[in-house]
Amino acid sequence: MTCWKSQMQLHNANDYDGLEPPLGLSRDPEFLRWATRVQAISSSAVSIREASPVPLDGRRMKDLQFVCSPISVRSIEENLSTIVECLVLMAEIDNVHVGFCVSSPGVQDSDPLFVQVVAVAPDVQGRGVGLALLAAAVQREPRRDIALATQDDNVAARSLNEKLAKSIGAKIRKVSLSNYRGSDLGIQRGLGYRAWVIQRPPFEP
Ligand SMILES: CC(C)(COP(=O)(O)OP(=O)(O)OC[C@H]1O[C@@H](n2cnc3c(N)ncnc32)[C@H](O)[C@@H]1OP(=O)(O)O)[C@@H](O)C(=O)NCCC(=O)NCCS
């Protein structure tokens, strides 16, 4: 973390400006090239890596935020802060970014791992990328329960969370939204979110 923060200080505003699309993403040649490459992907062989605190990974998150409604689109600089402060995992197929996940453990050892965002490009949804991202995130915190929030109409996210629970032999249950801070869950209050906890089976090293 400390190392990343010092690396980040090496970037100045010009680094982000070079990658921020001046005309918006929908008219940005680099974005359009990426979207075409994603469309052509036929493989499901996903690899997961930790995002690096470099402007290009911030831009990759932005590409994905743009195509993954209802995820909010952030500036590259904001995405870099997220990479520094949280665990951001990037999913790639054929070396093309196709998804990402943001999570962060609570401050206390007894706090859950908060999964704040999982997003997969629509063209490669339904191929196991979302589950692979969540599995990789929760493997890094094997002792913690997992807390997430979903909106009622997000059937894909709700089913994905249920599938994650099943895949680790755990149960998922609804909890009061007020148990957690909105910032920990990565949500704004008043938008119809419900909170869930996946209770981990006892840890076996
Ligand atoms: C939610 C999301 C990340 C799922 O990613 P994905 O790569 O398509 O998910 P997977 O292929 O790994 O699916 C794993 C399981 O999730 C469930 N699931 C995924 N998409 C689903 C859909 N559209 N409808 C119903 N269930 C779905 C299924 O149980 C699936 O298992 P199965 O394929 O064996 O049936 C993706 O739809 C997305 O990016 N949505 C937009 C952003 C978003 O809403 N994120 C969640 C809130 S932060």
CA distance linking residue 115 with residue 113, whole number of Å: 6
Q: Choose the CATH number for 2-199 among 3.40.630.30, 2.40.37.10, 1.20.1260.10, 1.10.8.50.
A: 3.40.630.30
Cβ–ligand 1 distance for 76 under 6 Å, the answer no
Q: How far is the CA of 1 from the centre of ligand 1 (A)?
A: 30
Is residue 191 in contact with ligand 1, taking CB distance under 6 Å? no
Cβ neighbours of residue 128 under 8 Å, at least 6 residues apart? 44, 46
The pTM (predicted TM-score) of the whole model is 0.93
Residue 156 Cα to ligand 1 midpoint, Å, equals: 4
Residue nearest (by alpha carbon) to ligand 1 atom 37: 156
Most informative mutation of 160, 163, 188, 194 for ligand 1 (most atoms within 8 A of CB): 160
pLDDT, averaged across the chain: 92
| C-alpha torsion sign, points 149, 152, 154, 156 | positive
Please report the pLDDT score of residue 43 as a whole number. Answer: 95
Average pLDDT over residues 28-46: 96
Q: Does the pLDDT of residue 188 top 50, yes or no?
A: yes
Residue 159 Cβ inside 6 Å of ligand 1? The answer reads: yes
* Mutation probe of ligand 1 site: the residue of 46, 48, 133, 159 with most atoms within 8 A of C-beta: 159
**Per-residue pLDDT tens over the stretch 99-154:** 999 999 999 999 999 999 999 999 999 999 999 999 999 999 999 999 999 999 99
Residue 204 confidence class, pLDDT cut points 50, 70, 90: confident
Express each pLDDT in 81-99 by its tens digit.
Answer: 999 999 999 999 999 999 9
Average pLDDT over residues 41-66: 97
Q: Is the pLDDT of residue 9 over 80?
A: no
